């Protein structure tokens, strides 16, 4: 009888044992259909987000003329959007942990596109700046979730290439938005230009939603302000992550200053270019598409620090060349600035994703926040520098920023050597 009782109870005990969690699917690799769909979807998301984010940048001279304001005042239509994005990217990254990367990106793009169709109706500069700030806050969900999505779904060896393609979509979006607004504004005014980029973003957002595969390796987590603060403190305590955040901000300071003020530079003498032609100048963004996509190969050949040094030298050379009064020299300078910036950005952002082993969404969000603070600061300070010293003032600001990148990268090399020596001393018992 006791034996029978034991046998009868055995299955019950087994049933009460917790089931082993099912293993996560293998991450995606290049060549797989789902990887291609994911790449195209995030490329489309980058196009939509960055076409909207910088939609007023090529139109600043026209906005200044229509509202009768200075370049510094008009530049707030760009800085408000990038500044709001910087503020909201971290809290939205926390929401992506709870509701999912795909859901957050979809909602963010939907709200941003709706606002993009309302922006052309703004009756005053103040209302335009307010709408642009709301748009920037909505767009924060895209970079907040995209990097974490890639880090979860893609094999580590393919991560730099995948992030490079997303950054390439950013560059295509920034370029196409400026070209579309420039030519549309030349024939119908800046409001028509903004409406045209809103339609472009709508098409790209629909393509994103249709193409993006459902996440296979995402595990929802509760939103906890305390846990978020702990994760953020942990990332900010990491010296390498702090340097990468600062490098992203400094690179974007250069880029924000140059591209916020280049429209004024090219519409004034000795160039006097019309809005459509100024918008077409942003075709140099194609160079950024190539340089960001090749960032992985640069890192393989030169190492992360070597790739950053090459990006700095390229950017600085472009800044100096842009001082010329020759249009061809200025355009070549923009090519070099763009190539250097996008290469540096792709290297730094992918290094963040690889360095953070936990809380990747927050690590990427902190990078994005620093990055867009750099854009906002660069646009504002670039306008001030342009007013006080002309284009040479803007270039001086850019050179100061790239000097900061060199200093941080060199310090990182020195710190690594010191840590290696200390490790050797410990390993050999101080001998």
The answer to the question of residue 19 being in a domain is no
Confidence (pLDDT) at 215: 72
Domain with 388 in it: what CATH number? 1.20.1250.20
The answer to the question of residue 12 being in a domain is no
Confidence (pLDDT) at 353: 73
- Distance separating alpha carbons of residues 112 and 117, to the nearest angstrom: 9
Confidence (pLDDT) at 29: 63
Confidence (pLDDT) at 5: 42
Q: Which domain holds residue 204?
A: 29-210+224-427
Q: Which of 302, 320, 297, 283 is nearest to 402 (CA)?
A: 320
Confidence (pLDDT) at 422: 67
Mean pLDDT for the chain overall: 82
Confidence (pLDDT) at 184: 86
The answer to the question of residue 126 being in a domain is yes
- Distance separating alpha carbons of residues 48 and 202, to the nearest angstrom: 7
Which residues 6+ apart lie within 8 Å of 100 measured at CB? 215, 218, 220
Tokens describing residue 226? 């305390």
Domain count, the chain: 1
Query: What backbone phi and psi angles, to 5 degrees, belong to 32?
Result: -80, 145
Confidence (pLDDT) at 424: 47
Confidence (pLDDT) at 253: 94
The answer to the question of residue 242 being in a domain is yes
What are the tens digits of pLDDT across the range 94-138?
Answer: 787 777 788 889 999 999 999 999 999 999 999 999 999 999 999
Which residues 6+ apart lie within 8 Å of 125 measured at CB? 63, 67, 69, 73, 74, 76, 77
Length of the chain, please?
431
Q: E-assigned strands of 118-221? A: none
SS3 assignment, position 324: coil
The answer to the question of residue 229 being in a domain is yes
Which residues 6+ apart lie within 8 Å of 107 measured at CB? 141
DSSP state of 28: B
Confidence (pLDDT) at 6: 40
The half-sphere exposure of 86 on its side-chain side, counting CA atoms within 13 A, is 20
The answer to the question of residue 8 being in a domain is no
Which residues 6+ apart lie within 8 Å of 14 measured at CB? none
- Distance separating alpha carbons of residues 56 and 260, to the nearest angstrom: 9
The answer to the question of residue 218 being in a domain is no
The answer to the question of residue 14 being in a domain is no
Confidence (pLDDT) at 187: 84
Confidence (pLDDT) at 293: 64
Please list the ranges in the chain whose pLDDT falls under 70: 1-31, 160, 216-223, 289, 292-296, 420, 422-431
Confidence (pLDDT) at 52: 93
- Distance separating alpha carbons of residues 348 and 246, to the nearest angstrom: 10
């Amino acid at each position: 009888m006791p034996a029978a009782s034991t046998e009868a109870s055995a299955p019950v005990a087994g049933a009460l044992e917790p089931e082993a969690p099912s293993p996560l699917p293998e991450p995606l690799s290049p060549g797989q259909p789902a990887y291609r769909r994911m790449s195209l979807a995030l490329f489309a998301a980058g196009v939509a987000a960055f076409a909207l984010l910088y939609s007023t940048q090529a139109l600043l001279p026209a906005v200044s003329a229509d509202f009768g304001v200075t370049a510094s005042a008009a530049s707030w239509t760009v800085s408000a959007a990038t500044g709001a994005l910087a503020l909201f990217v971290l809290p939205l990254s926390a929401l992506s942990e709870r509701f999912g990367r795909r859901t957050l990106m979809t909602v963010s793009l939907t709200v941003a596109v709706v606002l993009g169709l309302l922006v052309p109706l703004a009756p005053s500069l103040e209302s335009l700046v307010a709408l642009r700030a709301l748009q920037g806050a909505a767009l924060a969900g895209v970079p907040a979730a995209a990097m974490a999505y890639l880090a979860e779904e893609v094999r580590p060896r393919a991560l730099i290439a995948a992030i490079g393609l997303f950054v390439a979509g950013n560059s295509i979006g920034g370029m196409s938005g400026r070209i579309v607004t420039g030519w549309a504004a030349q024939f119908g005014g800046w409001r028509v230009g903004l409406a045209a980029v809103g339609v472009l973003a709508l098409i790209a957002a629909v393509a994103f939603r249709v193409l993006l595969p459902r996440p296979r390796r995402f595990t929802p987590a509760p939103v906890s302000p305390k846990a978020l603060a702990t994760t953020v403190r942990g990332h900010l305590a990491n010296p390498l992550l702090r340097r990468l955040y600062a490098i992203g901000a400094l690179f974007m300071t250069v880029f924000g200053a140059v591209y916020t003020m280049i429209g004024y530079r090219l519409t004034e003498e000795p160039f006097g270019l019309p809005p459509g032609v100024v918008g077409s100048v942003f075709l140099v963004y194609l160079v950024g598409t190539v340089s960001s996509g090749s960032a992985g190969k640069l890192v393989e050949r030169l190492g992360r620090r070597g790739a950053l040094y090459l990006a700095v030298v390229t950017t600085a050379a472009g800044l100096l060349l842009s001082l010329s009064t020759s249009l061809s020299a200025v355009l070549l300078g923009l090519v070099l600035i763009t190539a250097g910036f996008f290469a540096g950005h792709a290297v730094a952002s992918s290094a963040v994703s690889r360095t953070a082993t936990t809380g990747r969404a927050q690590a990427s969000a902190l990078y994005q926040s620093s990055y867009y603070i750099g854009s906002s600061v660069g646009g504002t300070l670039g306008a001030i520098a342009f007013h006080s010293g002309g284009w040479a003032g803007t270039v001086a600001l850019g050179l100061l920023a790239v000097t900061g990148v060199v200093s941080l990268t060199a310090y990182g090399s020195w710190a690594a050597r010191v840590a290696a020596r200390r490790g050797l001393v410990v390993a050999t018992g101080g001998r």
